[in-house]
């Protein structure tokens, strides 16, 4: 009984940190039967296939980013979703935007909805940070890289979104500009990595 209670408590502690995957239990040495037990007790609920969370967990738009990152760990949250995280837009994306390698298999998720863009080389790895979101460590493009990506993928998000992101980025840079990834130099470097320097430069010169 003591062992049962210990493993149950261990699962509860795991769930308090954020969404739980079935395989997380394997890593923690907790039999999957304990997962079903807490679901029957009404303490956990299934958020998506193979993904569970506490019934009383605070569910926000950002929870979807955490869920997608758990299920597609090689993906990087980008574009409209990254703009939302960085406070560079007031809009709530209709889906979670992720970037994957051009050679990677396209993920198939029933929920949450996702939008996928592809990249390779510097465009894939430049300007990626790790951020804790809803208890999950998420790959996320930095503010500068996010703005550059909006120009790179302007056919996906619209040039108006790219320009609005650039304006907000520059305005924030003027107000504080303390973080290394929130400077004009960082934006120029990201634009080079994305090979959109010639596209970004005229707008940057006009707005800076």
Q: How confident is the model at residue 2, as a pLDDT?
A: 41
Same domain for 109 and 132, yes or no, is: yes
Same domain for 44 and 65, yes or no, is: no
Q: Is 135 a residue whose pLDDT tops 90?
A: no
Domain extent, residue 17, equals 2-54
Q: Is 16 a residue whose pLDDT tops 60?
A: yes
Q: How confident is the model at residue 75, as a pLDDT?
A: 97
> Which of 14, 38, 54 lies at the terminal end of a domain, its last residue?
54
Q: How confident is the model at residue 83, as a pLDDT?
A: 95
Same domain for 138 and 50, yes or no, is: no
Q: Is 1 a residue whose pLDDT tops 50?
A: no
Same domain for 193 and 95, yes or no, is: yes
> Which of 54, 71, 95 lies at the terminal end of a domain, its last residue?
54
Task: Report helix, strand and coil shares of the chain as percent, to nearest 5.
Answer: 50, 20, 30
> Could you give the number of structural domains in the chain?
2
Q: Tell me the C-alpha distance between 84 and 23, whole Å.
A: 29
Same domain for 105 and 130, yes or no, is: yes
Q: Is 59 a residue whose pLDDT tops 60?
A: no
Query: The CATH number of the domain where 19 resides is what?
Result: 1.10.10
Among 13-17, 84-88, 137-141, 159-163, the range scoring the smallest mean pLDDT is 13-17
Same domain for 120 and 177, yes or no, is: yes
Across the beta sheet with 96-101, the strand order is: 114-119, 96-101, 76-77, 136-141, 128-133
Q: Is 202 a residue whose pLDDT tops 90?
A: yes
């Amino acid at each position: 009984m003591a062992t049962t209670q210990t493993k149950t408590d261990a699962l509860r502690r795991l769930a308090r940190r954020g969404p739980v995957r079935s395989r997380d239990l394997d890593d923690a040495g907790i039999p999957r039967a304990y997962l079903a037990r807490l679901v029957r007790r009404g303490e956990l609920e299934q958020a998506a296939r193979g993904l569970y969370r506490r019934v009383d967990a605070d569910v926000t738009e950002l929870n979807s980013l955490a869920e997608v990152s758990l299920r597609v760990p090689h993906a990087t949250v980008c574009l409209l979703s990254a703009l939302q995280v960085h406070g560079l837009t007031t809009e709530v994306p209709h889906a979670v935007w992720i970037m994957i390698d051009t050679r990677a298999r396209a993920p198939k998720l029933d929920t949450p909805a996702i939008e996928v863009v592809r990249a390779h080389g510097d465009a894939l790895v430049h300007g990626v940070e790790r951020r804790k979101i809803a208890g999950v460590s998420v790959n996320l493009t930095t503010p500068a890289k996010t703005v550059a990506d909006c120009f790179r993928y302007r056919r996906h998000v619209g040039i108006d979104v790219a320009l609005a992101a650039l304006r907000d980025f520059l305005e924030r840079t003027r107000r504080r500009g303390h973080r290394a990834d929130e400077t004009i130099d960082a934006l120029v470097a990201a634009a080079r990595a994305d090979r959109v320097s010639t596209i970004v430069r005229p707008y940057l010169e006009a707005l800076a």
